[in-house]
Structure 1
Amino acid sequence: MIRHIVFFTAKNKAHVEQMIDGLSVLTAIPHARRLEVARNRKTDQLGNDVDVIVYGEFDSEVDLTAYKEHALYQESIKRVRPLRELRIAADYEVSVERVISTSGTG
């Protein structure tokens, strides 16, 4: 499984809701196992620069690529790029067995 996490900052904080609306079209793309778009709660003691987060889970690299090539992904870029200051993305692979075996530990 691949986790895809993207952090956004807004050029103007008044446009955060517009960014969320523009990113929410991504949830209609069928290639993700899970996809969430959320506003940062900004409760971290060290840094709260990020305004919006996109979190996705994909079964394979093929699914992640298909997601990024989908027309709604391009529509989201068109709507959000003019509003954002910074975009930081990270993709990492995780085994399902590892997620299951560590999910109950604290």
Structure 2
Amino acid sequence: MSDRSFIRHVVFFSAKDKADVARIREGLSILGGIPHASHFEVCENSRADGLSGEVDVIVYAEFPDRAALDAYKADPIYQQSIDRVRPLRDMRVAADF
């Protein structure tokens, strides 16, 4: 078990229509305007692992503590991102560790 002093937040998305992957990435990228993360990035899956092709876009962020993660999710920009991305996405899987 790691003794790091931060939380990693990873979210995987798949597009209903592969033509919308760029729009999903753009909609998730606005989350970078929320100031609570110590690190934030949105990337498209490189598909280097042939067994994981269903993931199209990944959000990766680091937060100093649970309060910062909660504040990130409470920010109005978070809801704006949801409103833009939810209609375009199929799968969403999140993990915090």
Runs (4+) of structure 1 exceeding 3 A deviation are none
Distance 2:33 2:26 in 1: 12
Normalised to the residue count of structure 1, the TM-score between the two structures is: 0.85
Count of matched residue positions in the alignment of Structure 1 and Structure 2: 92
Aligned partner of 1:44 in structure 2 is: 49
Query: Of Structure 1 and Structure 2, which has the larger fraction of its residues in helix?
Result: 1
User: Following TM superposition, by how much is the alpha carbon of 1:47 offset from its aligned partner in structure 2, in angstroms?
Assistant: 2.1
Q: TM-score, normalised by structure 2?
A: 0.93
Q: Tell me the percent identity.
A: 54
1:16 corresponds, among 7, 12, 21, to 21
Structure whose CA Rg is larger: 1
1:82 is paired with a residue whose SS is coil
Task: Quote the residue 2:3 is aligned against.
Answer: none
**What residue is the counterpart of 2:77 in the other structure?**
72
Deviation at 1:6, TM superposition (A): 0.1
In structure 2, stretches of 5+ residues that fail to align are 1-5
Residue of structure 1 aligned with 2:67, choices 55, 62, 65: 62
Q: Which deviations, in whole Å up to 9, do the C-alpha atoms of 1:38-95 show, x marking residues without a partner?
A: 0001110322110000000000000000000000000000000000000000000xxx
